[in-house]
């Protein structure tokens, strides 16, 4: 697999990157956009520096498959972008999601001398002074960091996650290029699909910047450890903060079984039904109780320990939920379970998620049809993953834009249902989901919560009442001093002002032309000289010429504006 792993410094480095992108796009049958890409870059780099046109070489395979292959060859940053796109079924069609989910972050390990030098810089000393032993061969390698096994001076067996040298600068530069080319890449990779790639690139840049900060991952891991401290079915690896920096994360080494290893699970005597229930409870508790959840709970991010204990790893990708987000989610889930299409539409309208072009009647009918599809199903027989994908498809076709957190929640639950059903084919997430949503909704009506809400409302009203006399006095003072200003904003007022400006300018030019013509006609009929330099007739002819030039310019401007 090719990789875009060079330092992007100055025009030359960027030029190499642009050429590589054009070549890869052409290789996988997207050569139709290289001309537009070259024209765009020539404005930024100059005609001499712009990459040359590349002839397209159309290859076999569907467009989504070719998108995946192109992203793989473009390298780790583009792979991560594809992985992010695969988590947004509300924006990306299912055929693309299916292909992008196959993207693997497979990167060759960093050379040993470079990673050891990076580790010494981060920890501020020789490796021998920190670790009793350090295995230079990584046990896992990703595009941002790689993990090594080690033993500390205290005899602790640890996993050391080390950030790759210069990765922060490289990703920042590649994200800038992605942002610059988002419009062109959208056209190249996704054709006429309504995908807001510019917005996605902005979200991606923010997310990947957080992922390169291992101190942020350490804080996330510590927070999960506190939240699940009372849950014996979940073991969060301990973090050893004395051996951590922004570029190094040292944690407890976990020796466990992957959920995909059915043979080892059977040999260790683990109960798949218990494990299926626990992995879903782990995710649902995060969402409904803590409002802070892991957004990528795929099988590779879990280990299974004796006594059916779950050990999650890799806490770089998380999301936070506000109280409003959770209430919205509860309403949607309960409406789906209770088969209430009208309430779903009311929730979407209330939270301002419908576009101007959304047809509410069609949206309601589509939701009712989706619910009717599973009307006769028993609750335990409803596949959450299937209904989730159909919901996203429905949202996309009806121009509904749910919050990003909502999308990540649904996607995370679809992923964890897949993990659970791989362990226990009879397991259904939606059965476990309903009581969580019910409890979360009822929590708003608990006496403590009601009193808390009332107290906040009374406190807010009291503050408003106490400030009211002071605010009225200040308002009256400004009124007496003539300093009271009322600002009115009209949505189309600026457009109207510009139109009036253009119209008045054209009227002014028309008056000037008329004046020139009248004056020139009077001058042409006169005899004599002006200051002994020009005759009246010559000045009259010049006036005619100037009037003609202004008139022609005015006619052209009117025609170009298409308002005749």
- In 3D space, the residue among 354, 256, 247, 339 whose CA is nearest the CA of residue 302 turns out to be 256
- The phi and psi torsions of 178 (rounded to 5 degrees) equal -60, -45
Residue 118 has which token pair? Answer: 């990076």
Does the annotation count 314 as an active-site position? no
Distance CA 245, CA 123 (A): 7
The residues, any chain, with a CB within 8 Å of residue 183's CB and separated by 6 or more, are 197, 198
Burial (Cβ within 10 Å: 0-12, 13-18, ≥19) of residue 528 = exposed
CB 386 within 8 A of CB 353: no
Residue 355 has which token pair? Answer: 């576009």
Burial (Cβ within 10 Å: 0-12, 13-18, ≥19) of residue 112 = exposed
CB 358 within 8 A of CB 397: no
CB < 8 Å & 24+ apart, contacts of 538-547: 543/516, 543/517, 543/519, 544/516, 544/517, 544/520, 546/516, 547/513, 547/516, 547/517, 547/520
Distance CA 267, CA 253 (A): 22
Task: Supply the angle between the helices 323-337 and 429-443 in degrees, to the nearest 10.
Answer: 130
Count of residues for the chain?
564
Radius of gyration of the chain (CA): 33
DSSP codes, 105-119: ---PPPPHHHHHHHH
**Catalytic member of 180, 213, 271, 296:** 296
Catalytically active residues, by annotation: 296
């Amino acid at each position: 697999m090719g990789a875009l792993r060079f330092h992007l410094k100055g025009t030359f480095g960027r030029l190499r990157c642009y050429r590589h992108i054009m070549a890869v796009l052409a290789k996988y049958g997207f050569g139709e956009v290289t001309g537009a890409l070259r024209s765009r870059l020539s404005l930024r780099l100059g005609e001499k520096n712009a990459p040359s046109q590349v002839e397209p070489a159309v290859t076999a395979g569907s467009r989504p498959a070719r998108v995946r292959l192109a992203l793989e060859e473009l390298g780790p940053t583009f792979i991560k972008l594809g992985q992010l796109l695969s988590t947004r079924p509300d924006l990306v069609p299912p055929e693309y999601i299916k292909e992008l989910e196959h993207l693997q972050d497979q990167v060759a390990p960093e050379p040993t001398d470079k990673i050891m030098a990076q580790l010494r810089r981060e920890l501020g000393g020789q490796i021998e002074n920190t670790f009793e032993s350090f295995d230079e061969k990584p046990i896992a390698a990703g595009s941002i960091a790689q993990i090594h096994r080690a033993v500390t001076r205290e005899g602790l067996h640890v996993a050391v996650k080390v950030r790759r040298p210069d990765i922060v600068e490289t990703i920042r530069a590649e994200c800038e290029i992605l942002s610059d080319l988002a419009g062109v890449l959208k056209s190249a990779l996704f054709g006429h699909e309504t995908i807001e790639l510019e917005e996605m690139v902005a979200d991606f840049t923010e997310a990947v910047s957080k992922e390169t900060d291992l101190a942020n991952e350490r804080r996330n891991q510590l927070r999960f450890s506190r939240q699940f401290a009372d849950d014996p079915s979940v073991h969060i690896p301990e973090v050893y903060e004395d051996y951590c920096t922004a570029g190094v994360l040292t944690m407890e080494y976990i020796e466990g079984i992957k959920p995909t290893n059915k043979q080892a699970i059977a040999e260790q005597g683990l109960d798949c039904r218990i494990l299926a229930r626990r992995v879903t409870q782990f995710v649902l508790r995060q969402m409904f109780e803590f409002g802070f959840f892991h957004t990528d709970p795929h099988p590779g991010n879990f280990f299974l320990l004796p006594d059916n204990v779950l050990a999650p790893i890799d806490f770089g990708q998380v999301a936070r939920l506000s109280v409003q987000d959770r209430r919205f989610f509860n309403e949607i889930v309960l409406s789906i379970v209770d088969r209430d299409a009208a309430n779903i539409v009311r929730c979407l309208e209330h939270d301002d998620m419908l576009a101007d072009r959304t047809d509410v009647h069609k949206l309601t009918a589509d939701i009712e049809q989706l619910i009717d599809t599973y009307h006769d199903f028993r609750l335990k027989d409803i596949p959450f993953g299937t209904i989730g994908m159909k919901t996203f498809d429905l949202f996309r076709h009806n121009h509904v834009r749910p919050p990003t957190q909502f999308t990540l929640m649904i996607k995370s639950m679809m992923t964890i249902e897949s993990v659970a059903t791989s362990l226990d084919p009879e397991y259904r997430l939606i059965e476990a989901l309903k009581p969580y949503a019910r409890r979360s909704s009822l929590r708003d009506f608990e006496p403590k919560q009601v009193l808390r809400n009332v107290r906040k409302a009374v406190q807010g009203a009291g503050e408003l009442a106490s400030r009211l006399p002071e605010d009225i006095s200040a308002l009256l003072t400004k009124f007496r001093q003539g300093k009271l200003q009322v600002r009115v904003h009209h949505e189309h007022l600026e457009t109207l002002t510009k139109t009036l400006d253009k119209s008045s300018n054209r009227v002014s030019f028309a008056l000037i032309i008329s004046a020139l013509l009248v004056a020139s006609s009077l001058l042409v009929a006169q005899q004599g000289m002006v200051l002994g330099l020009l005759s009246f007739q010559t000045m009259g002819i010049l006036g005619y010429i100037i009037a003609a030039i202004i008139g022609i310019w005015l006619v052209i401007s009117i025609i170009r504006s298409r308002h005749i």
